[in-house]
Structures are given as C-alpha cells and as structure tokens.
Chains A and B, each alone.
Chain A
C-alpha cells in the first residue's frame, strides 16, 4: 500500500505540474505533451520512456488495489458478527473514512479519464485535435457536468492523500512522535496543493479563463 502509493503520489505531482502548463498557452502545453512521447530520444525510440512509465504506473495501481482488497476482505473476515448498536468513530477525521469507497470512485474516474483524454472515446474532439483543443472542448461551459465530475473525483484524491501520505510513513515505520506534526503537515499540504493544482485546469476552462 505504502510503496505503490508513494509511486502514485510522485506521478500525481508530475502530472499536476504538466497540466499547469496549459496556463502558458496552447503551444507550450502541446509541446509538453509531445515531449512526453519523445522523452529519451534519440537514444531510445519514440514513446519508450513513456511506455515504461505507463507500465510502472499500471502495475502500481494493480498492486495498490490488490493490497486494498485483501485488507478489506481480511477486515470483513475478522468481524463476522457486526455491532448492533451504533458503532462510534472516535479518531482522526473524515479522510480516513473515505479511503475505501473513495478508492473505488477514483478508479472509476481514472477509467473515464483514460477514455477521455488518452483514448478520446468520450472526448468531443478526436485524435486529429491537439491536446490543448481536447482539454478546452472537454470542459466547455456547456459540459459543466464533466467539470463537476472531475472536481469531485479530485477532491476524493485529495482526501485519499490526506490520510494516505501520513499513513504510508506509519506503515513503513518512519513515523515517530518527533516527526508526527511534520508528516501531518506534509500530508495536508501536498493534498491541498495537488487538489488545487488539478482543479484549476477544468475550472479555468469552464469559466472561460482558458480558451
């Protein structure tokens, strides 16, 4: 959970920084999208580095899901008779309780997102458009519900990171009373930055600040 989560957090940060290039204009954004494919050239053929990254991410997602599913199954088996009274939660916050259903929603979102901007199956523009045009068409004000869906999913990603980053340090035995506040801050800070960074793009397109 912790190791694959760390890989995915690294990816999210890189992905967010790339997305923000949209504010520098169409040519910068499209140039960045092209660079993702030409990374490592001419030493290696086109798309080599990107394909390797995609495989690493795909495997990480699968292992992350496998860990989550086995933990959930063990949890179910560990308490065959449920509490009859209302079971109170006394600890920590909201984020912890969103991890399991949030993870499922994030998975559904990732599938949609890939169909949208990787395979163009649900994108209003096709493969002959530029990446910039596809993003702008995707979050057009008339398609406000797509923006809402993206924003909700990203909020769940933020909550996932809020608990997940801190939890990863605990799982790896790296948390101590001395660094606990710093780790809480890191988890909250990164969650906020990633959430705002990702939400900025669809919101800006929908409100016409990027067109």
Chain B
C-alpha cells in the first residue's frame, strides 16, 4: 500500500509542534497501524532522523497504552478497536492519514504523539480503589453479588484507561472514565464503604486536572475501544447527587 502520513511532530513539551508529511510505500495491508509506524521509524533512523515517538505496550488491545487520533477519530476508524489492533486494510491505497496525539489540557504532550496521562492516575489515587485488605483471592461464594450487578460492574471494569473518551469529547471531559470507575466499584459490595467519598473526590480531582464538563454528546462511548456505555455517566451523576444533595457523604 502507498500512504501519505501527516504526523504531529513536537520535540518536547515546550516546542510548538507541527504536522509533518511522510510518504510511505510498500506497506502490507496486514500490518497493524503501529507496525506501519515501526516501518516509518526504521526508515527515519537509517536516514539519521529522529523517529516518531508514540505510546504502545501490549499491542493486544488490553493495556490502554496506545493512543493516536487517526483522521479525527481516536483509535482510528474501526469501532471497539484500539490503535494497536487496527490494521492497514481498513485504509484505502494512496490515502492521506492524519495522526495526532490526544488533545487535552490534562494530557500535555511529552513528545510527538506521546501524552502524559498521569491525570488519570491522580483520579484513581483520589478514590478509584477499595480500602479493604485483600490478601489472597477469597472464596468466590463468600461475598454473593447479584448476577446483573456483576455483569454491569464487569462491563465498566473493561475500561483500560486509554483516554480516548477525553480525546473524542468536544468538551475535553473525562466523565466516561470517571463513570466507569464509579460504576465498577459502586456496584460491588467491596466498594460500598468509600462509595460516597469516592465520587466526590474523584470528580474534584477531575475538575482540578483541567478536564471539561460533560454535556452528554455521546462522542466518548463511540470512541471507547471497550464500548463503555453512557450509562456509567448517568450512574456517576446519580451517585454524585446522592452524595452531595442527598447528604450521603459524611
């Protein structure tokens, strides 16, 4: 395949950054998007140029490390798929492809396509945990959980924290990520002791990090490679109202 890539190049956090065009030839349609970037980088290195920096780790679609806004859509054109699991056969021969980093104040660019997502870690630190001592895995039947709750909690727990929701949101909000955590832990008996503190302090951390407010546009759930549903944001709002207006938070 012949491709024209327009990639965001930025030397460091202080650099202004710009789109740079690269022509690629002879790319296998069976290559993954990241493998295609590997090919480009090998060429750049042999030519003595700086390779394009991008995040990746497992390349199996489960770690949440890869990112990239491809042609205006986080993780590219294929639904429910991370960039690492996206293949070049989803593109047309001769296509011009724009590749950009996640854009958000809370995700500052480190270099090229790499952004700093530690604002998500700070949100987890502010409430995305349970304080019960866990030890070794307990007997599965010792804490019964209704099947429907278990299923919904699992659906929310599928979030890999990649940040595509923020990248897609016209408001730059992380409500889907936040909702996934609040829903996941709030449906489990183990998550109850911190339930009302969790939602308030995680939302405070979210706002302090500089994420925007949710206006229910629904872009996040479409971009989410794990298909986290918008219901988690409704749950987030409900728990927040119960905690604050409802006076559940001590």
Contact indicator A80/B105 (Cβ below 8 Å): yes
Query: Could you tell me which residues of chain B, from 98 to 131, have a CB within 8 Å of some CB in chain A?
Result: 98, 100, 103-106, 109
10 interchain residue pairs of minimum CB distance: A173-B238, A78-B172, A85-B98, A78-B212, A91-B218, A173-B237, A75-B171, A88-B72, A167-B216, A90-B222
Query: Could you tell me which residues of chain B, from 188 to 222, have a CB within 8 Å of some CB in chain A?
Result: 210-213, 215-219, 221-222
Identify A176's interface contact among B73, B234, B240, CB under 8 A: B234
Identify A84's interface contact among B19, B168, B170, CB under 8 A: B19
**Which residues from A are CB-within-8-Å of B173?**
75, 78
**Which residues from A are CB-within-8-Å of B168?**
90
Number of chain B residues close to chain A: CB under 8 A: 44
**Which residues from B are CB-within-8-Å of A81?**
17, 103, 109
Contact with B along A73-106 (1 / 0, CB 8 A): 0110111111111111111100010010000000
Question: Is B28 in contact with chain A by the CB < 8 A criterion?
Answer: no
Contact indicator A75/B234 (Cβ below 8 Å): no
Q: How far is the CA of A54 from the CA of B236 in the complex (A)?
A: 34
Q: Total A-B residue pairs with C-beta atoms closer than 8 Å?
A: 110
Q: List 8 A-B contacts (CB under 8 A).
A: A71-B212, A71-B213, A88-B72, A90-B223, A92-B218, A163-B216, A167-B216, A173-B237
Q: How far is the CA of A71 from the CA of B211 in the complex (A)?
A: 11
Q: How far is the CA of A77 from the CA of B172 in the complex (A)?
A: 9
Contact indicator B213/A74 (Cβ below 8 Å): yes
Contact indicator B238/A78 (Cβ below 8 Å): no
Least CB separation from B96: chain A residue: A85
Shortest C-beta distance, B35 to chain A (Å), equals 21
Question: Is B235 in contact with chain A by the CB < 8 A criterion?
Answer: yes
**Which residues from B are CB-within-8-Å of A80?**
105
Shortest C-beta distance, A69 to chain B (Å), equals 11
Q: How far is the CA of A189 from the CA of B218 in the complex (A)?
A: 20
Contact with A along B65-100 (1 / 0, CB 8 A): 000010111000000000000000000000000101
Shortest C-beta distance, A99 to chain B (Å), equals 7
Query: Could you tell me which residues of chain A, from 167 to 188, have a CB within 8 Å of some CB in chain B?
Result: 167, 169-177
